[in-house]
Amino acid sequence: MGELTLCKILVSTDGSEYSSGAERIALYLSKKCGVKTFYVCHVIYYNPEHFTMVPRDTETMLSKARAILDRLKEQASKEGISVEGLFPMSESIEAGIAESAEKIQADLIVMGRRGIRGLAKHFIGSATLGVIPKVKCPVLICPRTSEIRGQGILCAVDGSEVSLKALEFATKFSKKLELTLYLLSVITDKFGEDKAKKVLDEAKKFTLKEGVSSESLLYRGSPSQLILEIAKQKDLDFIVMGNRGLKGMQKIIFGSVAEDVVSKTDRPVLIVK
């Protein structure tokens, strides 16, 4: 396994308070990973029929996008980082973000949990959920209060293929950011103690092989509830999970562990495909 490469970080922002955490974390990651330039995506929501009638609305949206870009340029310049803007015009916010990520071959997308068009009831914006199945790279979903505490990363493991992908990324991520890695395996009605222990032992061996020390956590109960509780108790910086339960989603599916964690935590959640 090679070193984690995060050369191209794309932050999607609408300029609202719900994007503030994503902007803050994207700047932190850019600085920590030695990124010289990071990319800002602000989608210009474009309705062809409406545009033919009121073209000045598009110019107003472009002006807002430029103002967001100028503000982030000023913040990033203090860290010696340059910023480039991407303002795709699209009838779909998620499609615009995916288009921008593909254009620059992004290594990571950072975005808020809920934008100004978000679903207040569920706390996850439709654009946030819609981006995940459309892109190739991991997506880091950041609540507006997201901040770095320097306490560590929590990675949930269950032995599945997508869980192994998450483990690999979490191991690289913890090494790059110099944060402690916590590995969590949960015993459930369908996931017995022997299997949970085996998955945890294999995950531990993998991290040691890659030169990363980790702490093993074995609990019985609800996976989403335990992830939320442990992240809060240990005051951890990131939660890393596979996208099982989110794969192919265009709308909310209740009962998904990943969705439950994303909607309720105040920590950034990295979804690995």
Return d(Cα 202, Cα 70) in angstroms, integer: 47
Pick the range with the lowest mean pLDDT from 173-182, 205-214, 244-253: 244-253
Domain shared by 136 and 211, yes or no = no
Q: Identify whether the C-beta of residue 88 lies closer than 8 Å to the C-beta of residue 79.
A: no
Helices (H), 105-192: 126-131, 161-177
Range(s) of the domain holding residue 27: 9-142
Domain shared by 169 and 268, yes or no = yes
Number of domains in the chain: 2
pLDDT at 50 over 80: no
Return d(Cα 180, Cα 270) in angstroms, integer: 16
φ and ψ at 118, to 5 degrees?
A: -70, 170
- DSSP, residue by residue, 20-84: HHHHHHHHHHHHHTT-SEEEEE--EE--HHHHHH-THHHHHHHHHHHHHHHHHHHHHHTTT-EEE
Return d(Cα 240, Cα 261) in angstroms, integer: 10
pLDDT, residue 208, reads 95
pLDDT, residue 124, reads 53
3-class secondary structure, 198: helix
- Band of residue 252 on the pLDDT scale cut at 50, 70, 90: very low
73 is written with which tokens?
Answer: 């340029």
pLDDT, residue 126, reads 64
Q: What is the CATH number of the domain that holds 240?
A: 3.40.50.620
The label of the residue with tokens 């545009």 reads 51
Is residue 60 included in any domain, yes or no?
A: yes
| Average pLDDT, rounded, for the chain | 87
Is residue 4 included in any domain, yes or no?
A: no
The H or E element that residue 25 is part of is: helix 20-32
Q: Which of the listed residues 142, 174, 207 is the one where a domain comes to its end?
A: 142
Which amino acid appears at position 149 of this protein? R
Using one digit for the tens of pLDDT, what is the confidence trace for 67-117?
Answer: 999 999 999 999 999 999 999 988 888 999 999 999 999 999 999 987 444
Domain shared by 47 and 108, yes or no = yes
Pick the range with the lowest mean pLDDT from 13-27, 44-58, 65-79, 133-147: 44-58
pLDDT at 203 over 90: yes
Which amino acid appears at position 2 of this protein? G
Domain shared by 119 and 241, yes or no = no
Using one digit for the tens of pLDDT, what is the confidence trace for 105-163?
Answer: 999 999 998 744 443 334 456 677 788 889 999 999 999 999 999 999 999 999 989 89
pLDDT, residue 129, reads 75
Q: Which of the listed residues 90, 110, 142 is the one where a domain comes to its end?
A: 142
Helices (H), 180-222: 193-209
Closest CA to 90 of 116, 63, 58, 136: 58
Domain shared by 203 and 236, yes or no = yes
pLDDT, residue 116, reads 41
Domain shared by 183 and 83, yes or no = no
Domain shared by 87 and 167, yes or no = no
Domain shared by 236 and 164, yes or no = yes
The CA angle 273-153-76, to the nearest 5 degrees, is 85
**DSSP annotation of 19:** G
If one compares 45 and 47, the residue with the highest pLDDT of the two is 45
By DSSP bridging, strand 181-187 and strand 269-272 are: unpaired
Domain shared by 161 and 83, yes or no = no
Contacts with 221 (C-beta within 8 Å, 6 or more apart), sequence order: 186, 187, 188
Is residue 17 included in any domain, yes or no?
A: yes
pLDDT, residue 263, reads 87
- Band of residue 177 on the pLDDT scale cut at 50, 70, 90: very high
Using one digit for the tens of pLDDT, what is the confidence trace for 123-133?
Answer: 456 677 788 88
